[in-house]
Structure 1
C-alpha cells in the first residue's frame, strides 16, 4: 500500500512510503565487486516475485474486513461505527508499530523481520474466523496491524540494498503492484465469498491466500548479501523523529496524508453499507465489487508525475482536492451511475494527492529519510482509522450525507494546509528577491 515516487504507487502502500537510508542503498566497499541483482538475473526475478507476494499478503490482510462490514453488522448486531473498528484497529496497530519495527530491521535484518511479520500476520488471520464477538475480533485485528508493520518498514530497504540501481525501478514497481492487487483482491475475495457463505468464510479465504503468499515469499526471497547490522539507538531515533515533527513543511505533508486518507477511509468503509441499503439494495457480493474501482488508482498514480511536472506540487494538490470533492458531491443523489462516477473521481483524486505528498516527504527530508517516510505512513494510517470511524458514525447518525460531510471537511482542511504552504512559499520568495537584486 516509498518514499514513493509520483507515478509509482497505485495502492496506498506503506512499502511505497518507507525509504532506506542513503548508506544502505549501496555496498560500502567500493573495491569489492557489485553483487547486487542485475536486470534479467535469476536473483532479481526471485526477489521481485518474493516481494510481490509479500505486498500481496500485506494488503490482502490489512483491509480484509472492509468489504465485510455490512455482513458483520448483520451477524453480530453492530452499528457501522462498531463494525468499522475492525478496519481501524489494524490501521492503528500498523501506524503505531512502523517506526519501532523499522528500527528492529536495522539490528536483526530485513529478511528476518519481513519473514516474521508476514507469517505472524497470516497466523492471526487463521484465527480471525473463530472470533466470537467484536472485542475479540478488534483486538486480533490490532495485533495483526502490528505484525504487518514489519513489511512496509523494511521491504524498500531490502530492495535498495540488494538490487542493482539499473533494476531498482522495475523491482519497486512490481512490489507496489503487489500492494495494489492485494488491496483490491482482498476486498473482492472476502466480500464475494461472504456473500455466499458468510463473513467467517470470507475471512478464512483471505487467511489461506495470505498464508500461501507468505510461504512463497520465504521460499523465493534470496539471502541478503549487503545488509550490515547496526545497534538500535533509541535516543538517536527519538532525536530524528522530533526534528522531523518540528519541520513545518514535513508537518504539512504529514497532515495532507492524514486528510486524504480520512476521505478514503470514510468512503470505502461506508460505501458498502449504502449500496446494500435502499434504494440500491445490492447483494453483499455485488456491493463488494465496487472495490474494482481501485484500478483507477493505477492510472492516476501513473500520470501524477506528468501532472506535477506541468502544474507543480501545489497545483497538483489543488487538482486532487478539487477532483476528490467533486466526486463526493456526485455521490449524494440516489443514483447508482452517479455514485460509481463519484467513486472513480474520489479514487483518482485520492491517489494523486497521496502520490504528491508521499514523494515530497523524501525530497524534503535532508536526513533520516526512512523515519520521515515512516512518520508519513503513521499519519496516513491514522487518517484511515479516523476516517473509517468518523465516516461510519456519521452514516449511522445522518446517512450518506453525513459521511460526505466528514470527507468534505477533510478536503477543506487539506485545501487550507495547501493554501498556507502557497502563501508561505510566496512570502519566502518575496523576501529573497531584494537579495537577488
Structure 2
C-alpha cells in the first residue's frame, strides 16, 4: 500500500516543477499552465466516489492494480503531447486512473487492520504519498534541466510502470472484504447519514482548504523563483521538493501522537504551522522562503494525517464512501484553490498569493477551534 501511495503522487504532480517550461513551450499563462496539475486532481476528485462504489462492489485490490497500470500508461503518453490540449487530456486520464487507488486504499486499510493500528498505518501510507510526490517532482525537474520536459514526463511513466508491476506482485487479497450493493437509493441514504454526522463535513472542509493552500503555493512559487533576483533553473526549483521528506516524518509523528493527545489539538497546532510557513514565504530572502516552505510542508502533512485518520475512525460501515468524500474534497481543493491562486499572482505578484492562501488556513484554524474540538476524540 505504501508503494501504491508513492506511485500515485509520483505520477500525479510531475508537471508541477516544470510549469515555467510549459508556459514557454505552449505560449500560455501561468494560471493556464497550472491546469496541467489541476486537471488531474480534478479528475480524481470527481471519480473518487464512483470508483469507491466499484471498490465496494468488486473489491479493493483488483481495482488498485488496474488503475496503477493505467496511470503509468497515460503518464508516459503525456510526454508525446503535440499541443497543450492533448497534454491536458492525458493528465485528466491519468488523474482518472489514479482515483481508483485512494478510493480503495483507506477502506482497504480500515478493513484489513485492527482499529488500534489504523492511525499509524494511515500515517505511514501518507508518508509514502509525500515521498512519492517529492521524488516525482525532483526527477521530472532534474531530467528537464539536462534534457527536456518531455523526457522528464516519460521517465516518470517508466518508473510508474515498474512500480505497478511491483504492486501487482506484493498486494495481498483482502480477507475482510464483503461486497456492498451499488444501488442508488442506499447511496443517498448513506450520504444523508454521513453529512448529518457532527464531525465528518468539517473534516471534508478541512481537507479542501489545506490541500488548496498547499498546492497553490507550490504551483506558483516556481514562477517566482525562476524570475530575478533568484533566476533558478528547473533542477534547483525541483530540489525544493526535497522538503516533502519532512511530510513523511510529520505524518508518521502525527499518527502516533493521536494515541496520546486529542486530535483537535494536534490539528490546531499544525494548522498554525501552515499559516506561519505561508507567511514566511513573503520574505525576499531565499533561506527564509525555504524555511517557510519547510514549516508549511511539515504542518500540512501532519494535519492531513490526523484528519484522514479521524475520518476513518468515524466512518462506520461505509468506509469506502466516506474515504472517497474526504479525498474528493481534498483533491478538489487542490484543483480549485491551486489554480485560482494564479489570479492574485498575475495581478498582485507574490504578496497576493500569500494573502489569498492564508485565508483557507485561517478558516481551518477557526473550524478546528470552534467545531472539531467539541468532538474530542470521538
TM-score (norm. length: structure 1)? 0.79
Q: Would you say the 8 A contact 2:127–2:251 is kept in 1?
A: no
Deviations 1:377-422 (A, max 9, x none): 1111111112210222221221111111111111222223223316
- What does residue range 6-21 of structure 1 map to in structure 2 within 5 Å? none
- What does residue range 135-154 of structure 1 map to in structure 2 within 5 Å? 135-154=85-104
Measured in 2, the distance between the counterparts of 1:112 and 1:212 equals 17
Q: Would you say the 8 A contact 1:186–1:206 is kept in 2?
A: yes
CA distance 1:301–1:168, shift in 2 (3 Å) = closer
Match of 1:213 among 163, 175, 178: 163
Matched pairs, number: 376
Q: Would you say the 8 A contact 1:61–1:125 is kept in 2?
A: yes
Measured in 2, the distance between the counterparts of 1:116 and 1:88 equals 23
Tell me how far 1:111 sits from its aligned partner: 2.8
Give the corresponding residue for 1:18: none
- Contiguous gaps of at least 5 residues in structure 1: 1-50, 427-437
Match of 2:194 among 244, 255, 266: 244
Give the corresponding residue for 1:131: 81
Q: Would you say the 8 A contact 1:308–1:315 is kept in 2?
A: no
CA distance 1:355–1:161, shift in 2 (3 Å) = closer
TM-score (norm. length: structure 2)? 0.90
Give the corresponding residue for 2:44: 94
Tell me, what secondary structure is at the counterpart of 2:361?
A: helix
CA distance 1:55–1:414, shift in 2 (3 Å) = closer
Q: Would you say the 8 A contact 2:42–2:332 is kept in 1?
A: yes
Measured in 2, the distance between the counterparts of 1:176 and 1:423 equals 23
Q: Give yes or no for the alignment of 1:316 onto 2:266.
A: yes
CA distance 1:415–1:179, shift in 2 (3 Å) = closer
Measured in 2, the distance between the counterparts of 1:325 and 1:267 equals 12
Match of 1:414 among 354, 364, 371: 364
Give the corresponding residue for 1:295: 245
Match of 2:58 among 92, 108, 122: 108
Q: Which moved more, 1:201-210 or 1:118-127?
A: 118-127
Tell me, what secondary structure is at the counterpart of 2:138?
A: helix
Measured in 2, the distance between the counterparts of 1:372 and 1:111 equals 18
Tell me, what secondary structure is at the counterpart of 1:206?
A: helix
Give the corresponding residue for 2:35: 85
Match of 1:188 among 117, 135, 138: 138
Give the corresponding residue for 1:73: 23
Q: Alpha carbon RMSD of aligned pairs, Å?
A: 2.6
Deviations 1:274-312 (A, max 9, x none): 111111111111111100001111222233256556763
Q: Would you say the 8 A contact 1:80–1:393 is kept in 2?
A: no
CA distance 1:85–1:227, shift in 2 (3 Å) = same
Match of 1:275 among 225, 244, 249: 225
Q: Would you say the 8 A contact 1:55–1:175 is kept in 2?
A: yes
